[in-house]
């Protein structure tokens, strides 16, 4: 099996990663790795096949992109004057991260129609948060 033919799924964010080993056609085996032990496991190898640096660099780049583009869209930035508790909540800014192999990550803002549809279907602000929580967090 080639090290390039590995796929990972997060099973418990801070605890472990389940790695699937496959050949060209199918999953051959799986192994669970405790996340805190991965750097030592890799470092102990004679020829390490993995380095945390590219993963951390990629995570930093994605996080920076989100901070640059999402934070300025806050409908009630810190320090803004309190609003009337009866006022209609502004439309939530909702974004989607899309990963395309060999191209990277795109940050896509959902259209107002998509956001309104999500809010209508779920009864939640942006389709995620309760209106009570949003009003409390925004100081309404």
For the chain, what percent of residues have pLDDT higher than 90? 36
pLDDT of residue 14: 56
Report the pLDDT averaged over residues 18-42: 89
pTM score of the predicted model = 0.57
Q: What is the largest CA-CA distance in the chain?
A: 65
Q: Which residue has the higher pLDDT, 51 or 124?
A: 124
Mean of pLDDT values over 127-135: 89
- pLDDT tens figures, 41-80: 888 888 877 777 888 899 999 999 999 998 888 777 777 7
**Which one is predicted more confidently, 35 or 29?**
29
């Amino acid at each position: 099996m080639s090290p390039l033919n590995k796929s990972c799924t997060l099973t418990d964010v801070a605890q472990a990663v389940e790695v699937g080993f496959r050949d060209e056609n199918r999953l051959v085996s799986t192994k669970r790795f405790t996340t805190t032990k991965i750097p030592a496991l890799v470092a102990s190898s004679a020829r390490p096949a993995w380095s945390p640096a590219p993963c951390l660099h990629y995570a930093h780049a994605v996080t920076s992109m989100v901070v640059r583009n999402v934070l300025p869209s806050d409908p009630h930035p810190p320090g803004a004057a309190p609003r009337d508790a009866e006022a209609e909540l502004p439309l939530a800014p909702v974004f989607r991260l899309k990963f395309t192999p060999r191209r990277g990550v795109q940050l896509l803002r959902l259209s107002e129609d998509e956001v309104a549809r999500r809010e209508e279907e779920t009864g939640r602000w942006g389709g995620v948060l309760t209106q009570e929580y949003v009003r409390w967090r925004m100081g309404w």
